[in-house]
Amino acid sequence: MSYFIDRRPNARHKSAVNRQRFLQRYRSHIKRAVEESVNRRSITDMERGEKVSIPAKDISEPSFQHGPGGRRTVVSPGNREFAEGDRLRRPGGGGGQGSGDGQAGNQGEGMDEFAFSLSREEFLDFVFDGLELPHLERKQLQVLEETRPVRAGISKEGVPARINIVRSMREAQARRIGMRAPLKRALREAQEALEAEERKDPVLRNPARIDELKSEIVRLEKRIGSIPFLDTYDLRYNHLTHQPMPSNQAVMFCIMDVSGSMTQAHKDIGKRFFLLLYLFLERNYEKVELVFVRHHTVAKEVDEEEFFYSRETGGTIVSSALTLVDSIIEARYSPEQWNLYVAQASDGDNWDDDSSTCLELLDESLMRKLQYFTYVEITPHAHQALWEAYETVRAAYPERFAMQQIVQAEDIYPVFRELFRQRAKG
């Protein structure tokens, strides 16, 4: 007696809970491994999952076992040249290892590390664990520009396209029953009276009364027949209201200095920083748009390829980029509808008298629209006028303006964490 069952449609991921339990339990180990790998690898690789190793000894499940030592006899297959009584040198020089634990020994190799794969989501969870977006306020709309139609019950008025047929028919039926009831009752009474009259002895009948009843019956039947099947006030419509929708979209402006002083290495560091920020935003918003603005003495909106890889020469005027961002916001990304983030990377060079222009621009216009402004300065050297100007901005908007210095690629991740670490509420 046998039967087959096709289990393939059944739920997969039966082990999902156990898997999560494992990840939870070794959270700190995994986090360390993830951080190392983030620093080591190019950030572009973070788009996929990650192989993670943690020390096997930390996750072993202990049990009572025989340790090395003592006297043991081992039977193995595949003898070729041994004869009884032969003596062999102990492999690995003593230690009682022997081929004694052939099994354990062989498996033991390469098992110092327990390696497994994290999915992309799990990996990013660990990367961004404990980070928060500053001022992640869902944009509340003063102007109901972006709304979403929402079903809001039934109404008596509406357009034919939204007729709710079931509800309309129900109303009609109720109305028909209600309107017929008194007429039907009167009809029945009239019929009964007519029958009673007709059953009477012919002598006693009242012909006038019979005629009267008969015409009454005809009149009632006509009235019943004229009750409409569907009337205009039976009609019901699905009612839609327009609900303002909190904006769940963000735009991220990447501003990078491409003047002669920025080397490719600087740009790579900048790129990694931008990528981290992008991944982070992507996890928090349904939709993230990217705008690339590069500048030397003049700013220009470019595509990603050009942004990262084209070379320019010349001086640096940072305010040109800020002005361009401002005008792009003005034209395309209304702050009411978009969460706006700006990430700027530069080596800190700027025309001296431009820095005060930047300060003015930020303070008076940009910072009011932005959720957050991050500035990373990629330089091993001392700060210049731009940094000082930005420090003033930071003092004015401590919650929404962040800046850090990056010297080499390894600094990016710690700096990123520093910029976005969860702040105590209050």
Partner 1 sequence: MTRRKPIATGSDWNFEALEVYERAIGELAREYRLDTYPNQIEIITSEQMMDAYASVGMPIGYHHWSFGKQFLSVEQAYRRGQMGLAYELVINSDPCIAYLMEENSLMMQVLVIAHACYGHNSFFKGNYLFRTWTDASAIVDYLVFARKYVAKCEERHGVEAVEQLLDACHALQNYGVDRYKRPSPISAEEEVRRQDEREAYLQTQVNRLWSTIPAPASGLVQQPSNDLENDPLGLHRHDRYPSEPQENLLYFLEKNAPLLEPWQREIVRIVRKLAQYFYPQRQTQVMNEGWATFWHYTLMNRLYDDGLIDEGIMLEFLQSHTSVVSQPGFDSPYFNGINPYALGFAMFSDIQRICQAPTDEDREWFPDIAGSDWLETLHFAMHNFKDESFIQQFLSPKVIRDLKLFSLIDDDRDDSLQIEAIHDDRGYRRIREALSVQYALSAREPNIQVWEADIRGDRSLTLHHVQDRRRPLAQSLFPVMRHLHQLWGFPVKLESMEGGEVVRRYQWPIPEPTHESA
What is the binding site for partner 1 (CB under 8 A)? 1-8, 10, 12-15, 17-25, 59-80, 82-90, 94, 96, 98-100, 102-103, 106-107, 114-117
Q: What is the rounded CA–CA span in Å between residue 361 and residue 372?
A: 15
In this complex, which beta carbon is closest to partner 1, that of residue 109 or of residue 303?
Answer: 109
**Least distance CB 279 / partner 1 (angstroms):** 24
Q: What is the rounded CA–CA span in Å between residue 51 and residue 241?
A: 49
Q: What is the rounded CA–CA span in Å between residue 317 and residue 102?
A: 70
Cα dihedral 144→146→149→152 (10° resolution): -40
User: For residue 290, how many other CB atoms are within 10 A of its CB?
Assistant: 16
**Least distance CB 130 / partner 1 (angstroms):** 20
Residue 158 gets the label, from left (phi > 0), alpha (psi -120 to 50) or beta, of: left
- Amino acid letter, residue 290: L
In this complex, which beta carbon is closest to partner 1, that of residue 89 or of residue 425?
Answer: 89
Distances (CA, A) of 304 to 36, 267, 277, 309, 320: 27, 12, 15, 9, 19
Contact in structure between 366 and 373 (CB atoms under 8 Å): yes
**Least distance CB 121 / partner 1 (angstroms):** 15
**Least distance CB 113 / partner 1 (angstroms):** 11
Q: What is the rounded CA–CA span in Å between residue 411 and residue 67?
A: 45
In this complex, which beta carbon is closest to partner 1, that of residue 17 or of residue 159?
Answer: 17
In this complex, which beta carbon is closest to partner 1, that of residue 70 or of residue 202?
Answer: 70
In this complex, which beta carbon is closest to partner 1, that of residue 114 or of residue 351?
Answer: 114
**Least distance CB 41 / partner 1 (angstroms):** 19
Contact in structure between 421 and 130 (CB atoms under 8 Å): yes
In this complex, which beta carbon is closest to partner 1, that of residue 19 or of residue 394?
Answer: 19
In this complex, which beta carbon is closest to partner 1, that of residue 87 or of residue 199?
Answer: 87
Tell me the torsion sign for CA atoms 274, 278, 284, 287: positive
Residues 268, 269, 272, CA angle at the centre, nearest 5°? 85
**Least distance CB 7 / partner 1 (angstroms):** 5
Distances (CA, A) of 133 to 58, 157, 292, 422: 33, 45, 21, 8
**Least distance CB 80 / partner 1 (angstroms):** 7
**Least distance CB 68 / partner 1 (angstroms):** 8
In this complex, which beta carbon is closest to partner 1, that of residue 60 or of residue 422?
Answer: 60
